Structures are given as structure tokens and as C-alpha cells.
């Protein structure tokens, strides 16, 4: 990192680290279930990239295992988008598209600055460029594939649309980020991909009425609790064990 003299804003490290950790876990659930072997490897690669990012970010502010396995649901600061269940393949790709576009634009901005996350972001931005490309490639193929694949891609995009507003709420500690410009670039990039795929931007609200503030404040959706129970089960059954 860029030196110990720059204090790491804990809230920001937690937010970015939890995003990566939770999405990594969701992608890990695809292992053994992807449509083809090659896609299995691709999803696992992305999951591993994200887990690597999470480990660096959480280690900046404490013990990564304690933070991952001993926090309750209300202490997690990830956006609600990444905790959404995988659904079918198109649903997973829609989630990947929304999030990887966001993460790539955000890390590009952080890498260009000189804040405490510049070093991490400079490495991660190469990974997120690949994640983004992967999601875009599949969006094009599913959107411009068969009637069935188009229907499913659209359903995934529509179902997750209401979790995208939260992505652009300012994160405490990421002071240099221009969130409005970030959202503009995200929307433009998304619109371009969907246009090429023969799809259009979903309509409707981008935040649920009940979801104001949402994941960044520790308010999560119902499936997240079950995901955490599975993720944390072993650590909680054998506290203090080493592996």
C-alpha cells in the first residue's frame, strides 16, 4: 500500500471488502453447477479475484477471518446487490454486469488518486476490467441469443434493477470520489452494452421504499442471513481453531 502514514478509513475498507467477499461467496456457489466446464472456471476465477480483494481490504482494518466469520448480518456493509441469490445464469450475469461496471469505474477512480486504496485499486482494476468484459460478453450473447435467453436476461436485469441505486450513495471515507460522475459513466456504459445486446435499460425505481440506505448501513435482504449462516458455520462451531 502507499505507506503507513495514510490512515485507512475503516468504513470504506469494510464497504469495499464486504462487497468483494459476499459476491465471491455467491459466485463460489456456482462451483459444479455452471452450464459448461469453461464457464465454471471463469466464474471461479472471478470469485477468486474478489476473494483476494476482500482479504487485502479486510486485513487493512483487522483480522480478516474474524471480520468475515464473526460479524453478524447487521455489521456487514456490502451493497444489497451482491448478496442477491444467484438465480439462473442470466440472473447471475445481470448481477455481474451491474456490479462489475460499478466496481471497475470506482477502482479506476481510486487508482488515479493517492488515497489509501490507490495501491489496491491499481491491482484490482485489471481484474475488474476482466470481470466487466466477461459480464458484457454474456449479456450480448444472452440478449441477442434465443427468445428464451433474451427473456431470461431481461428478467434478471429487471429483478436486480432496484438494487442499483445504492451503488452510488457516497461511502464514508472515499472522499475523492465524484459519485455523480461515476453514476453517469455507469449508466452510459450499461446503456451501450444493453443497446448492443438488443435490450434496453430497465425502468422503475432504483431503490425500494423499504431499502433506503440499505446494505451500506447494515440493513440486508432476507437471503443474506442464510448465506452468512452457511459461510460462517464452521468457524462458529469451532471458534479459535486454526486451518
Partner 1 sequence: MTQNWPLWEVFVRSRRGLSHTHAGSLHAPDAEMALRNARDLYTRRSEGVSIWVVPSAEITASSPDERDPFFAPAADKPYRHPTFYDIPEGVSHL
Q: Which residues bind partner 1 (CB under 8 A)?
A: 36-38, 41-42, 45, 133-134, 137, 141
- Minimum distance between the CB of residue 187 and partner 1, rounded to whole angstroms? 25
Q: Name the residue nearer to partner 1 (CB basis): 145 or 218.
A: 145
Contact predicate 200/139, CB 8 Å:
no
Degrees (nearest 5) of the Cα angle 95, 16, 158? Answer: 20
Q: Name the residue nearer to partner 1 (CB basis): 132 or 220.
A: 132
**Cα-flanking dihedrals φ and ψ of residue 146, to 5°?**
-100, 175
Give me the sign of the Cα torsion angle 92, 166, 99, 188: positive
Contacts of 167 (CB under 8 A, 6+ apart): 79, 81, 98, 99, 102, 183, 186
Rg, Å, the chain Cα set: 17
CB atoms within 10 A of CB 88: 13
Q: Name the residue nearer to partner 1 (CB basis): 147 or 203.
A: 147
- Minimum distance between the CB of residue 167 and partner 1, rounded to whole angstroms? 25
- Minimum distance between the CB of residue 129 and partner 1, rounded to whole angstroms? 12
Q: Name the residue nearer to partner 1 (CB basis): 198 or 205.
A: 198
Q: Name the residue nearer to partner 1 (CB basis): 33 or 141.
A: 141
Q: Name the residue nearer to partner 1 (CB basis): 7 or 37.
A: 37
Distance CA 69, CA 131 (A): 26
- Minimum distance between the CB of residue 103 and partner 1, rounded to whole angstroms? 19
Distance CA 122, CA 154 (A): 33
Nearest to 101, CA basis, from 196, 168, 195, 29: 168
- Minimum distance between the CB of residue 149 and partner 1, rounded to whole angstroms? 11
- Minimum distance between the CB of residue 21 and partner 1, rounded to whole angstroms? 21
Distance CA 145, CA 73 (A): 38
Amino acid at each position: 500500500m502507499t505507506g503507513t502514514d495514510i490512515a485507512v478509513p475503516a468504513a470504506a475498507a469494510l464497504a469495499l471488502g464486504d462487497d468483494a467477499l459476499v459476491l465471491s461467496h455467491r459466485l463460489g456457489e456456482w462451483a459444479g453447477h455452471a452450464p459448461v466446464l469453461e464457464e465454471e472456471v471463469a466464474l471461479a476465477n472471478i470469485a477468486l479475484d474478489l476473494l483476494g480483494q476482500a482479504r487485502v481490504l479486510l486485513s487493512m482494518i483487522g483480522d480478516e477471518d474474524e471480520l468475515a466469520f464473526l460479524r453478524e448480518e447487521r455489521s456487514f456493509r456490502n451493497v444489497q446487490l451482491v448478496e442477491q441469490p444467484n438465480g439462473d445464469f442470466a440472473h447471475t450475469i445481470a448481477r455481474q454486469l451491474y456490479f462489475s461496471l460499478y466496481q471497475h469505474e470506482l477502482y479506476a477512480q481510486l487508482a488515479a488518486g493517492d488515497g489509501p486504496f490507490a495501491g489496491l485499486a491499481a491491482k484490482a482494476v485489471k481484474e475488474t476490467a476482466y470481470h466487466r468484459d466477461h459480464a458484457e460478453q454474456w449479456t450480448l450473447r444472452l440478449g441477442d441469443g434465443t427468445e428464451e435467453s433474451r427473456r431470461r436476461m431481461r428478467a434478471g436485469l429487471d429483478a436486480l434493477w432496484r438494487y442499483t441505486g445504492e451503488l452510488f450513495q457516497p461511502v464514508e471515507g472515499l472522499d475523492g470520489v465524484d459519485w455523480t460522475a461515476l453514476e453517469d459513466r455507469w449508466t452510459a456504459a450499461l446503456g451501450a452494452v444493453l443497446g448492443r445486446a438488443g435490450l434496453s435499460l430497465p425502468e422503475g425505481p432504483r431503490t425500494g421504499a423499504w431499502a433506503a440506505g440499505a446494505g451500506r448501513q447494515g440493513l440486508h435482504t432476507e437471503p443474506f442471513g442464510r448465506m452468512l449462516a452457511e459461510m460462517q458455520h464452521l468457524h462458529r462451531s469451532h471458534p479459535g481453531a486454526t486451518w
